[in-house]
Chain A
Amino acid sequence: MTSLTDTPFNIAGRHFSSRLLVGTGKYKDFTETGAAVEQSGAEIVTFAVRRTNLGQETDAPNLLDVISPKRYTLLPNTAGCYTAKDAVRTCRLARELLDGHNLVKLEVLGDDTTLYPNVVETLKAAETLLEDGFDVMVYTSDDPIVARELEAMGCCAIMPLGSLIGSGHGIQNPHNIRLIVEQSRVPVLVDAGIGTASDAAMAMELGCDGVLLNSAIAHARDPLRMANAMKLAVEAGRDAFLSGRMPRRQSADPSTPFADRING
């Protein structure tokens, strides 16, 4: 069998084999988190930074014991930040937490109903983080002009939403995602909104370089099986994109030749 080649998937100068990035939120426990992440084949794994619960069991398991920084490329997020200032502080804390690792997922939210990105604050935060030496993968709206600005500033990956975070509504505006893909020279990943495997495949068929998702796996009835489905969907979507789909036609075109039929 011929082995199929692909262009390398690089983020900030690092090479990755898997184009699926997964989060670690919403799982029932760390055991399930670890198993789902492993099943997904993801190499880049997101997490959040929060105040340590003081005065409680200090020997309680830590997420980073399950998702080891030695095995995975950890991607701290700035979820829950509504201002550029808080997002920058969070990234600096994360960098200290990870001994200087400087790849971050920047997200600055607009409100807690939509969790829609506040692009004004996102642009401000990106500028400060880039000056401070971070590699910034940025969660943003599916506005191609904002995406272009973020790329021009130096963000290492553009991550437009497919639909609202945690909504599972899939890709609501594939045309915008395609516009962003076509104009971008850094990787484009759909981040947010993926609900099931076909959504992830669609993102890849649109030409995205990768997909970042969390709830679609964590909130599936069987997270491990969905993790596997997402892995396959991202691979399938990528191959479908690279293979160049057939043109759509207005009328039928038989796959079986009409010639030499017995009914003359």
Chain B
Amino acid sequence: MSTSNESIHLTLNGKPHSLAADATAADLVEQLGLSGRRIAVEINEQIVPKSQLADTHLTSGDQIEVVHAIGGG
């Protein structure tokens, strides 16, 4: 069961995060409980449009940012 191929290790909002090896960006958003929320996702400094989240496979070492709107001036 547990081989190194079965999970990937990435950096999510600056912190280590592990996922199943075949996970997509949409899976990650789902796992975080953020499906349908107004967020934006960036992987390795590239925007991943909402329409492409499900087709974007994640790999070990990916740097992922998930952002939302907050108050500001």
| Chain A residues near B (Cβ < 8 Å) | 23-27, 33, 46-52, 54-55, 58-59, 62-64, 74, 76-77, 79, 89, 92-97, 165-166, 212-215
Contact = CB atoms under 8 A, between A and B. Distances in A.
A25 B42 contact: no
Contacts of A165: 73
Interface residues of B, number: 26
A207 to B, nearest CB: 23
A64 B66 contact: no
B40 A26 contact: no
Nearest to A214: B73
B37 A48 contact: no
Contacts of A54: 12-13, 15, 32, 66
B36 to A, nearest CB: 10
Interface string B37-48: 111111001010
B73 A79 contact: yes
Contacts of B66: 51-52, 54
Given A54-B32, A93-B42, A62 B37 contact: yes
Contacts of A93: 40, 42, 47, 65, 67
B57 interface: no
B1 interface: no
Nearest first, the 6 A-B pairs at minimum CB distance are A48-B72, A23-B73, A214-B73, A58-B33, A96-B40, A24-B71
A215 B71 contact: no
Interface in B24-57: 32-34, 37-42, 45, 47, 49-50
B39 to A, nearest CB: 6
A25 B72 contact: yes
A51 B13 CA distance: 6
A97 B68 contact: yes
Given A52-B67, A54-B32, A77 B72 contact: yes
Given A49-B67, A51-B13, A51-B66, 5 more contacts: A23-B73, A48-B71, A52-B13, A63-B69, A93-B65
